Amino acid sequence: MKLTSSFTVRAGIAASAALAATAVLAGPAHAGVSGQYQFQNAGTGKCLDVQAGSSADNTPLQQFSCNGKSHQRFSLSFEVDNPTSLLRATHSNKCMQAFSATPGTSVVQRPCDNVSGQRWEFIELGGNKVTVKNVASGLCLDDGAAPSGSRREVRQTVCTGAATQVWTRY
């Protein structure tokens, strides 16, 4: 009888330890699925777009009416044990880069050199929705609120979870 009781106690301790380890290791879910995607803003309904479909360095990232063209498609490449990826425009093969950690700054395309300003964390929100956070600045891609027509700026802002910081990946 004592053996059964001792076994039950040990099994309970082992199960509790395993549960505690899982709780400590669990963090935010990351959307680490490599592939080509289009990103549509939940607040504006517009898609991430490289302005005018340009391949030139320093061309800003913007939002534009979704049209499925190659300058609205981006490649993500995740490595094992790394929840971050480059955000590479498929039409130019260039990477989106943040040059500053100042809220309100724009994001531009540059030759890919894997600097931290080109690395992005894709935080899974469920239902193919993600928040896109820059590794270097810690800021999130957001609607720049200007101009009000079919083209809108994309800026980095403090991550708040606002609808304009939520992007549907498809």
Q: What is the CATH number of the domain that holds 108?
A: 2.80.10.50
Indicate if the pLDDT at residue 30 is higher than 50.
Answer: yes
Contact call for residues 34 and 78 (beta carbons, < 8 A):
yes
What is residue 162's predicted lDDT score, i.e. its pLDDT?
97
Indicate if the pLDDT at residue 76 is higher than 70.
Answer: yes
Radius of gyration for the chain, computed over Cα atoms and rounded to the nearest angstrom: 21
pTM: 0.79
pLDDT > 70 fraction of the chain, expressed in percent and rounded: 81
Residue 50 lies in a domain: yes
**Phi-psi sector, 148: left (phi>0), alpha (psi -120 to 50), beta:** alpha
Residue 124 C-beta-side C-alpha neighbours within 13 Å: 11
Residue 126 lies in a domain: yes
Contact call for residues 85 and 33 (beta carbons, < 8 A):
no
Which domain, by its residues, includes 119?
A: 35-169
Q: Are strands 61-64 and 152-157 parallel, antiparallel or unpaired?
A: antiparallel
Residue 132 lies in a domain: yes
List, for residues 115-134, the tens digit of each pLDDT value: 999 999 999 999 999 999 99
Indicate if the pLDDT at residue 101 is higher than 60.
Answer: yes
45, with CB counted inside 10 A (0-12, 13-18, 19+), is exposed
Residue 60 lies in a domain: yes
How many structural domains is the chain composed of?
1
123 vs 109: CA distance, rounded Å: 21
Indicate if the pLDDT at residue 11 is higher than 60.
Answer: no
